[in-house]
Amino acid sequence: MGLNVRAIEVENLHLSIISQFAIHMLACPSVDEVLWRLARDVVARMGFDDVVIYLLDEDKKSFHQRAAFGNKNPEANEILMPLILSVGHGIVGRVGLTGTPQRIPDVSLHPEYIVDNEARGSELAVPMVVDGEVIGVIDSENAEIGFYTEQDERTLIAIASIAATKISQTRSVEMLSKERGQLAQRVEERTAELTAANIELARASRL
């Protein structure tokens, strides 16, 4: 009975975390803010000691660490010894390649485990997917073997989905803003060219 009550409490906590995260995402203006809020304010509340957020590089060949919580985040928006993993390499790279979450009870028994800043006991990695394409991976490790539960995995998958959607939307807005800026610059340059041509034409007419 006690275990069932505890399970319900954990599930309710996780649902609250997911709900609040979805609301907070509305106010995040940049991809970096989404990632750091995800690492510090969301995953940390789940009781994890460590989390690292990877994003797929523009060349779509490697995953780069972009935000972290725990030992990988010594201060501010800093990542200790940022790691780059090729797609398909290591547990994170495998999740990024297949789009399938991996919950590893004992990483010492997993042939693809890669030690980052220190060796740990268990690992949970889930993909961030938009329109069937993996754009990043949320990865958490813990010193305790068998630390992560099915509920942890389900919650992290839901959070990853929300984050991926927000990142995609933010990137679209940033790209549109950049294109508008470039268009405004081209219009300004063209206007300057026409003004100079008109001045030259007027001078030639006077002559």
pLDDT tens digit sequence for 8-57: 777 777 787 877 777 777 777 888 888 998 888 777 778 898 999 999 99
Burial code (b: 16+ CB inside 10 Å, e: under 16) for 65-83 equals bbbbbbebbeeeeebeeeb
Q: Which helix (H) or strand (E) holds 10?
A: helix 2-25
CB 122 within 8 A of CB 148: yes
Please tell me the distance from the alpha carbon of residue 11 to that of residue 108, in angstroms, as a whole number.
29
pLDDT in tens, 56-106: 998 899 999 999 998 888 888 889 889 999 999 999 999 999 999 999 999
What is the mean predicted confidence (pLDDT) over 124-132?
A: 95
Predicted confidence (pLDDT) at residue 1 exceeds the cutoff of 50: no
What is the mean predicted confidence (pLDDT) over 141-157?
A: 93
Please tell me the predicted confidence (pLDDT) of residue 113.
94
Please tell me the distance from the alpha carbon of residue 175 to that of residue 183, in angstroms, as a whole number.
12
